[in-house]
Structure 1
Amino acid sequence: MGFEQLGVRLNDAGYKNWLKAGYCLLRVRDALHGYLDNEMKRFHRGLLSANPALRSGQRCRGACKPRGTQVSHFPRPVPACGQWRTEILRHHTNRAGQVHWGNCRPWLWPFQHWELAKAYMPRGQAKITRPDQCDAAALLNLINFCDHFSFIEQRAVREVIRHRNELMHSSEMKVSAQWMTHFHGSLDRLLLQLRHVPGIAAAAQEIQEILSVDWSVSIPGSDRVDGAQREGLEPERISHVETQLLRERLQELLLCTDGQAPPDPQVQ
């Protein structure tokens, strides 16, 4: 299998940095999946236990289909959905922030914890049903905006969200060495906050290794060393990472084309 074109792209230091930073975010994402799934189950059970109104009353049969980000975009919900809406807002860390109600199917809030989680995420989650379908931005926004995670320093989370948005909206898909230095520092602070999460220690070690090596792929007829193989990452793996990041970036651009700006971690 030839990787000549990948090797050419990796000759560009800015693009190589873009890929490395994206790979780091993919590793954080993967490490968070199981943890956030379990935590949102706990959060969901806690709400049901603390508020009997969430377990009783008229059940919604799919009539509540909100759109937009304001409470006014969720008109006349049935009583059960109205109670859940109130609880979601009560546990939002920024009461003046936006809630992307269109992410959710409110009639499932009493039964599915991940439908509840999506209320704290950026737009574009309507078809998502599991945490392993979410990107890093969605998971980090959940941590940032749901007060169940208020024990985690939110500034550290917001810094990485900001860097992620800059990465995905880089017009040339390139970032500088200086940007990488700031990103590395922000990521280290976040990983320290998440050190209790199973899998984060292994992810942090791999991230440090990835950021410290030079990705390169040998090109037939050249004298370049196949650094990707000798320094810990196979060319096939780099190509797979590239594909994942390009797919995520395309999805981001489609949302922007549809009128959605990149999520602001301060206000969502």
Structure 2
Amino acid sequence: MVLEELTVRLNDREYTNWLKAGRCLLILKTGLHPFTDHQMRAHHRDLLNQHALLSTPCETSSCKPIGNKLSSPCRVCSEWQKVILRHHRQPGATINWANCFPPHWRTDHWEVAKAYMPRGQAKVRRADQCDAAALLNLINYCKCFWSVDPKLVRQVIQFRNELMHSCELRVKDDWIRHYWRTLKHFVQQLSDVPQMATVGQQIEDMLTVDLSICVSGVDRVDSAGSLEGCESDFVSQLETSAEKVSQWETELLQEMLQEYLHVAAEEDGDAKAQDPEQLKRLQSFLKANKDLREKFSTELQAINSLEVKE
């Protein structure tokens, strides 16, 4: 039954496009983990070498944000705050200080990195715990990633947001073509990063593989050759089982649910108003598919609880 329902979903070409594109984001973040971690370690080390005060421990060990503001920080944390802003490409933009624990800025490079990310990163401790959006925003906003064109990063972020905030969970072939072209250019910017060569090939394989054949062995609705210019010599090497495709789908839907539920649970009223329609549509989609309804029963209960509170 699970396989049948998955096959039906994959016979919707635009849903399959959405699934492939989302899987590419998950592939991309695995390559960005070591790159961003290495860059931030080096940047953190440079900051400590350039500013003697930054090597001093927090004077109170209790400097922490209240809401999203860092009120009355000690002399050391105040200096860290100034340095972080100095290396921000848009210091006038909203800085999510609530992501950070300032007393750890001296010893933990990733606490510094989180100041350049979207909100919701307070419990994150390492690069490999971050999603693609967090890492892309870090690259976009922190000047230490000077080798990457920020305009190109913002294009990838825009595609990511369109994909993850898609009410219908569907994207057209033309969107996929532009998305693939942008990802290729972005990956090429990181050609000197060893992991990115593999990531680039995996993304190409994902966007050209025929998932409907992988699942059903019969249907050819999602034909790789129908996307002009999307050929790959390695597609035949990509062994994909129904279980693997189902796992990819689960991971992508899980990430969407976590993002929506986090926003919905925010105390900030403006934050709550951001994604109510998307969350309701996602809820309806999960309920309409028995296998997904069972798989995400806990998340559906959480959504129901939010509706009761409203």
Structure 1 length as normaliser, TM-score? 0.88
Amino acid at match of 1:51: H
Amino acid at match of 2:175: W
Matches within 5 A, 1:95-134: 95-134=91-130
Aligned to 1:238: 245
Amino acid at match of 2:152: A
Judging changes above 3 Å, is the alpha-carbon distance between structure 1 residues 78 and 211 closer, same or farther for their aligned structure 2 residues? Answer: same
After TM superposition, give the deviation of residue 2 of structure 1 in Å. Answer: 4.9
Q: Are the counterparts in 1 of residues 215 and 242 from structure 2 also a CA contact under 8 Å?
A: no
Q: Are the counterparts in 1 of residues 210 and 220 from structure 2 also a CA contact under 8 Å?
A: no
After TM superposition, give the deviation of residue 79 of structure 1 in Å. Answer: 1.0
* Cα distance per residue 1:119-173 (max 9 Å; x no partner): 0000110110011110000001110000000221111111000000111100111
Aligned to 1:86: 82
CA distance in 1, matches of 2:221, 2:202: 19
CA distance in 2, matches of 1:176, 1:13: 8
- Is 1:224 matched up with 2:226? no
CA distance in 1, matches of 2:215, 2:248: 18
After TM superposition, give the deviation of residue 218 of structure 1 in Å. Answer: 4.5
Match of 2:192 among 190, 196, 200: 196
Q: Are the counterparts in 2 of residues 57 and 79 from structure 1 also a CA contact under 8 Å?
A: no
SS in 2 for 1:240: helix
Judging changes above 3 Å, is the alpha-carbon distance between structure 1 residues 58 and 14 closer, same or farther for their aligned structure 2 residues? Answer: closer
Q: Are the counterparts in 2 of residues 67 and 100 from structure 1 also a CA contact under 8 Å?
A: no
* Cα distance per residue 1:227-256 (max 9 Å; x no partner): 999763222221111111111101221243
Aligned to 2:163: 167
* Cα distance per residue 1:77-125 (max 9 Å; x no partner): 1111101100100000112111100001111111111111000000110
**Structure with a larger share of its residues in helix:** 2
CA distance in 1, matches of 2:166, 2:145: 30
**Greater Cα offset, 118-127 or 249-258:** 249-258
Aligned to 1:266: none
CA distance in 2, matches of 1:58, 1:170: 43
CA distance in 2, matches of 1:223, 1:91: 54
Q: Are the counterparts in 1 of residues 16 and 222 from structure 2 also a CA contact under 8 Å?
A: no
After TM superposition, give the deviation of residue 213 of structure 1 in Å. Answer: 2.1
SS in 2 for 1:199: helix
Aligned to 1:35: 35
CA distance in 1, matches of 2:175, 2:101: 39
Aligned to 1:254: 261
5+ residue gaps, structure 1, are 263-268
Q: Are the counterparts in 2 of residues 103 and 124 from structure 1 also a CA contact under 8 Å?
A: yes
Q: Are the counterparts in 2 of residues 54 and 80 from structure 1 also a CA contact under 8 Å?
A: yes
Matches within 5 A, 1:200-211: 200-211=196-207
**Greater Cα offset, 171-180 or 227-236:** 227-236
Judging changes above 3 Å, is the alpha-carbon distance between structure 1 residues 58 and 214 closer, same or farther for their aligned structure 2 residues? Answer: closer
Q: Are the counterparts in 2 of residues 168 and 252 from structure 1 also a CA contact under 8 Å?
A: no
CA distance in 2, matches of 1:23, 1:92: 30
Aligned to 1:265: none
After TM superposition, give the deviation of residue 5 of structure 1 in Å. Answer: 1.5
Structure 2 length as normaliser, TM-score? 0.77
CA distance in 1, matches of 2:218, 2:248: 25
